[in-house]
């Protein structure tokens, strides 16, 4: 079960969230509560918290100050902002803290539980990834040893291109490489191989104390390990025909932090090596690879958009082939460059789909290039095949897409608000209805009408409330309900913020 924490200085808000949340159904314990950011931080120091719902405006330490401190100290927690209408600008600023989502007051039961479901899904996915991560196995193994004076490092080993059709990192090939590393290693060195991806291994390098290696500096250990691994990789290439690329991270005494940093360095070095190298490469030189900047598809952007506009897959494929042929001649085809190019092309296709109102294109295009996409893009051919398959699916979807203009969509949203202002209205509703992102709709609406969508909803509700106060004898509670507020106190606060006077004062000032 996960732990959740609600941070808000208003008791009725905390109670409402606690009541509306489907905590047990989502695998969450009954939520804890705090009234300000400082007490929340103090609580999180003592009790593990996985999901945090935080208000922006609070005494002692406000939500922004809390997020700045908490996301640094507890980066694995999922943060959800609770915002009033007039706090919307603050909510946008808080995006830099990588918040998961925000909820608008008064909190909707549907929106709240949707956020909780997403948070739990992310936490479950991260937990599963941690369990499946072979690096965790090596870290636990090294850190559990009684190994005074020893140093450890992580190496990243991937296959170059092309790979023989019958090759895979099966147990036989892993045993062969392990044997070669043992043969070429120095006394006191141990190499432990773990599978990471079909094309990637990680190696733990352990130098036991008491041997000659114990007296060497971490930098010297890296050079020796690179030499030993280089000999083993050349022997492996002769036996299998497979060219390998190996990056070695920094050596340090075993700890979870140092080994994770060593793994990060090793992965960076390997990702910036030429995938189409003619012979095995082994390097522990971080500085050499740290400054390499991936090449960009930007020069081909307009041509790619033109191919999308014509739905000409043959032309689209030829553009990618031409681009990679140019880069191959410059020895610039690296794993990082491929990922960088994949993200560039994905954004081009997302923007094109959005601008041309391709229905539910998000079901075809991933939101970003993550592990699943990286596994499908391991070389030039697989890169081109992957994006051509997305191209085909988009072209089929485009044939049935509705062709509403942006202006027509914005007018529909405005009209919907004016007719349904008393109902619960969310950006998510419009985003799903028109298959456009919430950010895009908000930006376009503000450019056209001068208000954000929530700002316009607030303005329309307040104007209608003002009219009812002046032209009717309805009670303030009835007016609150009539314009979409279930909490009269919250309505009164919002009204006073908007008009600089309470509903009662506004009614008393009406013309006689």
Say if strands 189-197 and 32-34 run parallel, antiparallel, or are unpaired: unpaired
pLDDT at 399 over 70: no
Q: What is the mean pLDDT of residues 348-358?
A: 80
Residue 166 · residue 211 · CB < 8 Å: no
Look at residue 212 in the predicted model and tell me its pLDDT: 46
Look at residue 458 in the predicted model and tell me its pLDDT: 93
- Model confidence band, residue 209 (pLDDT cutoffs 50, 70, 90): low
Look at residue 293 in the predicted model and tell me its pLDDT: 58
Look at residue 343 in the predicted model and tell me its pLDDT: 86
Q: For 423-458, what is each residue's pLDDT tens digit?
A: 888 888 888 777 677 888 888 899 999 989 999 999
Take residue 364 and report the two structure tokens written for it.
Answer: 């075809």
List, in order, residues 6 or more apart from 10 with CB less than 8 Å away: 55
Question: Which CATH fold would you assign to the domain 406-508?
Answer: Arc Repressor Mutant, subunit A (1.10.10)
In angstroms, the CA 7 to CA 17 distance is: 10
In angstroms, the CA 428 to CA 438 distance is: 7
Q: For 385-396, what is each residue's pLDDT tens digit?
A: 999 989 988 887
Look at residue 512 in the predicted model and tell me its pLDDT: 46
Look at residue 211 in the predicted model and tell me its pLDDT: 45
Q: For 462-507, what is each residue's pLDDT tens digit?
A: 999 999 999 888 899 999 989 999 889 999 999 999 999 999 999 8
In angstroms, the CA 472 to CA 447 distance is: 35
Torsion of CA 179, 181, 183, 187, to 10 degrees: -130
pLDDT at 508 over 50: yes
Other Cβ atoms less than 10 A from the Cβ of 158: the count is 22
DSSP assignment letter at 451: S
Closest Cα to residue 56, out of 37, 76, 42, 43? 37
Q: Mean pLDDT in the chain?
A: 83
In three state form, how does the secondary structure of 232-298 look?
Answer: HHHHHHHHHCCCEEEEECCCECCCHHHHHHHHHHHHHHHHCCECCCCCCEEECCHHHHHCCCCCCCH
Take residue 303 and report the two structure tokens written for it.
Answer: 């041509």
Question: Which CATH fold would you assign to the domain 134-290?
Answer: Alpha-Beta Plaits (3.30.70)
Closest Cα to residue 311, out of 184, 377, 398, 379? 398
Q: For 83-107, what is each residue's pLDDT tens digit?
A: 775 555 665 566 666 688 878 888 8
Look at residue 92 in the predicted model and tell me its pLDDT: 58
CA 29 to chain centroid: 26
Q: Is 111 exposed, middle or buried (0-12, 13-18, 19+ CB in 10 A)?
A: buried
Q: What is the mean pLDDT of residues 415-430?
A: 87
Distances (CA, A) of 126 to 77, 78, 123: 11, 12, 5
Look at residue 311 in the predicted model and tell me its pLDDT: 81
Look at residue 159 in the predicted model and tell me its pLDDT: 93
Distances (CA, A) of 319 to 31, 294, 297, 302, 304: 54, 18, 10, 11, 7
What values do phi and psi take at 283, rounded to 5?
Answer: -145, 145
- Model confidence band, residue 329 (pLDDT cutoffs 50, 70, 90): low
Q: What is the mean pLDDT of residues 23-47?
A: 91
What values do phi and psi take at 62, rounded to 5?
Answer: -80, 175
Q: What is the mean pLDDT of residues 353-358?
A: 76
In angstroms, the CA 403 to CA 227 distance is: 61
List, in order, residues 6 or more apart from 43 with CB less than 8 Å away: 5, 32, 34, 49
pLDDT at 210 over 50: no
Closest Cα to residue 87, out of 66, 117, 64? 64
Highest mean pLDDT among 91-100, 170-179, 368-377: 170-179
User: Does the predicted TM-score (pTM) go above 0.85?
Assistant: no
pLDDT at 7 over 90: yes
Q: In CATH, what class is 4-132?
A: alpha beta
Q: For 227-250, what is each residue's pLDDT tens digit?
A: 889 989 999 999 999 999 999 998
- Model confidence band, residue 62 (pLDDT cutoffs 50, 70, 90): confident
What values do phi and psi take at 193, rounded to 5?
Answer: -100, 140
Say if strands 244-248 and 151-159 run parallel, antiparallel, or are unpaired: antiparallel
Say if strands 32-34 and 4-7 run parallel, antiparallel, or are unpaired: parallel
- Model confidence band, residue 79 (pLDDT cutoffs 50, 70, 90): very high
In angstroms, the CA 387 to CA 399 distance is: 19
Q: What is the mean pLDDT of residues 359-384?
A: 82
Q: What is the mean pLDDT of residues 118-139?
A: 76
């Amino acid at each position: 079960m996960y732990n959740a924490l609600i941070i808000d200085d208003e008791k009725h808000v905390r109670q409402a969230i606690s009541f509306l949340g489907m905590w047990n159904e989502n695998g969450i314990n009954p939520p804890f509560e705090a009234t300000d950011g400082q007490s929340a931080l103090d609580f999180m120091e003592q009790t593990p918290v996985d999901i945090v719902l935080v208000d922006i405006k609070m005494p002692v330490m406000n939500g922004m100050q809390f997020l700045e401190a908490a996301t640094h100290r507890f980066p694995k927690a999922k943060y959800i902002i609770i915002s009033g209408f007039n706090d919307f600008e603050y909510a946008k600023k808080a995006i830099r803290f990588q918040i998961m989502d925000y909820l608008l007051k008064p909190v909707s039961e549907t929106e709240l539980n949707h956020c909780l479901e997403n948070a739990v899904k992310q936490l479950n996915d991260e937990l599963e990834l941690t369990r499946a991560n072979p690096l965790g196995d090596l870290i636990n193994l090294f850190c559990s040893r009684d190994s005074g004076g020893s140093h450890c490092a992580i190496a990243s080993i991937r296959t170059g291109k092309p790979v023989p059709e019958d090759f895979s990192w099966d147990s036989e090939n892993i045993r062969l490489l392990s044997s070669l590393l043992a043969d070429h290693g120095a006394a006191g060195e141990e190499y432990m191989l773990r599978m990471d991806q079909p094309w990637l291994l990680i190696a733990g390098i352990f130098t036991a104390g008491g041997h000659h290696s114990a007296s060497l500096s971490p930098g010297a250990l890296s050079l020796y390990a690179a030499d030993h691994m280089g000999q083993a990789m050349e022997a492996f290439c002769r036996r299998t025909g497979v060219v390998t690329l190996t990056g070695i991270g920094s050596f340090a005494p075993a700890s979870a932090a140092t080994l994770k940093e060593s793994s990060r360095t090793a992965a960076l070095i390997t990702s910036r090596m030429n995938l189409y190298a003619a012979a095995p490469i082994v390097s522990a030189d971080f500085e050499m690879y740290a400054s390499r900047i991936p090449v960009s598809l930007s020069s081909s952007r307009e041509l790619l958009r033109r191919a999308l506009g014509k739905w000409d897959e043959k032309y689209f494929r030829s553009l990618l082939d031409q681009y990679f042929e140019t880069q191959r001649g410059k020895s610039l085809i690296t794993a990082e460059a491929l990922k960088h190019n994949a993200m560039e092309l994905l954004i081009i296709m997302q923007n094109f789909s959005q601008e041309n109102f391709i229905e539910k294109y998000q079901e075809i295009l991933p939101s970003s290039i993550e592990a699943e996409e990286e596994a499908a893009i391991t070389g030039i051919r697989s890169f081109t095949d992957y994006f051509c398959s997305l191209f085909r699916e988009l072209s089929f979807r485009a044939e049935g897409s509705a062709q509403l203009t942006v202006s027509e969509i914005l007018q529909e949203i405005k009209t919907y608000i004016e007719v349904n202002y008393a109902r619960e209205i969310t950006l998510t509703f419009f985003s799903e209805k028109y298959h456009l992102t919430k950010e895009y709709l908000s930006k376009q609406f503000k450019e056209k009408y001068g208000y954000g969508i929530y700002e316009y909803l607030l303005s329309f509700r307040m104007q209608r409330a003002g009219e009812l106060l002046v032209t009717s004898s309805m009670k303030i509670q009835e007016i609150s309900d009539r314009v979409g507020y279930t909490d009269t106190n919250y309505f009164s606060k919002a009204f006073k913020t908007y008009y600089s006077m309470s509903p009662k004062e506004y009614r008393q000032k009406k013309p006689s």
